[in-house]
Amino acid sequence: MWRILATVGDGVRESLSNTSQRSLTIIVLFGLVSSLLIVRLHLIQARTMRELVALAEREAVISNGLRRKKERLRTLFQAMPDGVAALRHDRVIDEANDALCEMLGVSLSQLRGATHREFVQLLYRGRQPSRHGCSAAELLAELDRPGAATEFAALVEFDVPDSPTYEVRLVHAANGNGTVLVLRDMTDRIRHERMKSHFVSTVAHELKSPMASVAGYAELLAENMVPQDKRPRIYQALRSRAAQINGILSDLLDLARIEARSTGQAEMQKVDMNSLARSVVANAFSEERRIRIVAAREPVIARGDRQQLERAIRNLIDNALKYSEPQSAVEVAIAAADAGDKVSICVLDKGIGMTQEEAHMAFNCFYRAGRPGGPSGTGLGLTIVRQIVLQHCGEIVLDTESGRGTSVTLHLPAAA
Ligand SMILES: Nc1ncnc2c1ncn2[C@@H]1O[C@H](COP(=O)(O)OP(=O)(O)O)[C@@H](O)[C@H]1O
Ligand SMILES: [Mg+2]
């Protein structure tokens, strides 16, 4: 009985130990599989993390690049001398640069968010366009143009003296995606171009009359129409016209040379104005006994171009002698001024002087206060003086009174 029970007990134990062995195996296997799964999961997670980090790095690089590009564009936008505005599709200003604000005399906050209509009002400020200029209505219509990619350019000029002139350019993006507006200040360029063409026509006009005289006299001589005894007078007239033409041309060449130097070739050096004035008088006016130089013993040193300063002083002394009585004195006074920062040279006469109107125009090209039988000249002498002084960053003071005399003072920078 006990043996039977023991056998049964062994069987049960054996089957029990089999069962627990299987469970153990299953548990071990499960543990193994789970561990493998966890390891794999960790690996996947680590890879994903690495990919995410790489992605974030790439994104940072791209966004840094974009930010740098945006900053560069912004700097470029701000550094542009032209006024620029970007308008949205609804014609409202989205962005504008400082140059545009300055041109219109408004702040950036006033411009941002302004409509194209408000912009046109700020630009025209009630002023009427000049004969050459585009009207406010035209500009508004162009800003309103819907749709296709187009470009427009026009001159904005007002019917008011001394007002600025602008060139306005519009570039519309395709599909009405906004507009870029560029405003360029053309005031100086247009003024310069007009002055140039005025100058050319004045030169042509000034040369035309002596040339016509030369041609007329030559014709008379060629046709043998002048009796022998009258010929010397014709020759004399021809000589004087030729001298007039020569005078104009050499003054014009001097003016052109001085202007060319003002664009970079000036030779600035230390120039003792006392010795310069003395050498001008000794060389160009050696026969004249009317000129008196008033100067201190010690040198008065200016910074300038010796040749040009010589030319300026020669022109002033020439005028002082020409426009005063043959026996009246002409004074050339040189002094240091402005606590040694400036040098002044003044040429003074007690001659015919000028009226206020004449004085206003005296420095204009070819201007001559027309007095019949008066001294000859080209009307370029004072223009040349003005140009020389401009180039030296100096100043001219003209003090004159009709019938009493004239003084012209040049203030020039002293040499350091
Ligand atoms: N010292 C002066 N006194 C009176 N008038 C002068 C004097 N200097 C210049 N002017 C006037 O200014 C004009 C322009 O002078 P300038 O340019 O030197 O020309 P130009 O001497 O060839 O006539 C002269 O024609 C003259 O009418
Ligand atoms: Mg002169």
Position in ligand 1 atom list of the atom nearest CA 379 = 19
- Give the residue among 111, 128, 121 at the shortest CA–CA distance from 163: 128
The Å distance, Cα 268 to ligand 2 centre, comes to: 25
Whether 406 is in the pocket of ligand 1, judged by its Cβ within 6 Å, is: yes
**HSE-CB for 281 with a 13 A CA cutoff:** 20
The predicted pLDDT at position 295 comes to 92
Instruction: Output the residue whose Cα is nearest ligand 1's atom 9.
Output: 319
In a mutational test of the pocket of ligand 1, which residue from 323, 355, 361 has the highest number of ligand atoms less than 8 Å from its CB? 323
What is the predicted pLDDT for the residue at 320?
98
- pLDDT of 11: 59
Tell whether domain 83-185 is in CATH 3.30.300.30.
no
Q: Which residues contact 255 (CB under 8 A, 6 or more apart)?
A: 380, 383, 384, 387
Which residue ranges of the chain lie beneath pLDDT 50?
Answer: none
| Superfamily name and number for 266-416 | Histidine kinase-like ATPase, C-terminal domain (3.30.565.10)
Closest C-alpha to ligand 1, atom 27: 369
What is the structure's pLDDT at 7?
A: 57
- Is the CB of 409 within 6 Å of ligand 1? no
pLDDT at position 199 is 87
Sort 340 into a burial class: Cβ within 10 Å, 0-12 / 13-18 / 19+. exposed
pLDDT tens digits, one per residue of 209-259: 899 999 999 999 999 988 999 999 999 999 999 999 999 999 999 988 888
Q: Which residues contact 88 (CB under 8 A, 6 or more apart)?
A: 94, 178
Mutation choice for ligand 1 from 352, 354, 386, CB with most ligand atoms inside 8 A: 354
| 3-state SS record for the chain | CHHHHHHHHHHHHHHHHHHHHHHHHHHHHHHHHHHHHHHHHHHHHHHHHHHHHHHHHHHHHHHHHHHHHHHHHHHHHHHCCCEEEEECCCCEEEEECHHHHHHHCCCHHHHCCCEHHHHHHHHHCCCCECCCCCCHHHHHHHHHCCCCCCEEEEEEEECCCCCCEEEEEEEECHHHCCEEEEEEECHHHHHHHHHHHHHHHHHHHHHHHHHHHHHHHHHHHHCCCCCHHHHHHHHHHHHHHHHHHHHHHHHHHHHHHHHHHHHHHCCCEEEEHHHHHHHHHHHHCCCCCCEEEEECCCCCEEEECHHHHHHHHHHHHHHHHHCCCCCCCEEEEEEEECCCCEEEEEEEECCCCCCHHHHHHCCCCCCCCCCCCCCCCCCCHHHHHHHHHHHCCCEEEEEEECCCEEEEEEEEEECC
**What pLDDT shows up at residue 51?**
93
- Please tell me the predicted confidence (pLDDT) of residue 198: 87
Ligand 1: distance of its center to the CA of 319 in Å? 6
Q: Is the CB of 379 under 6 A from ligand 1?
A: yes
Cα 385 to ligand 1 centre (Å): 11
Supply the pLDDT for residue 4: 55
CB atoms within 5 A of ion ligand 2 belong to 319, 377, 381
Contact (CB, 8 A) for 242 and 218: no
Query: How far, in Å, is the centroid of ligand 2 from the Cα of 364?
Result: 12
Name the residue of 316, 346, 363, 368 to mutate for ligand 1: max ligand atoms within 8 A of Cβ: 368
pLDDT, tens digit (0-9, with 9 covering 90-100), for 279-307? 999 999 999 999 999 998 889 999 999 99
Q: 62 in the Ramachandran plot: left (φ > 0), alpha (ψ -120 to 50) or beta?
A: alpha
Nearest CA to ligand 1 atom 8: 319
For the Cβ of 320 lying below 6 angstroms from any atom of ligand 1, the answer is yes
* Contact 378 CB / ligand 1 (< 6 Å): yes
CATH code of the domain occupying 191-265 = 1.10.287.130
| Pocket flag, ligand 1, residue 251 (CB < 6 Å) | no
CA of 284 to the centre of ligand 2 (A): 14
Tokens of 11: 């069987």
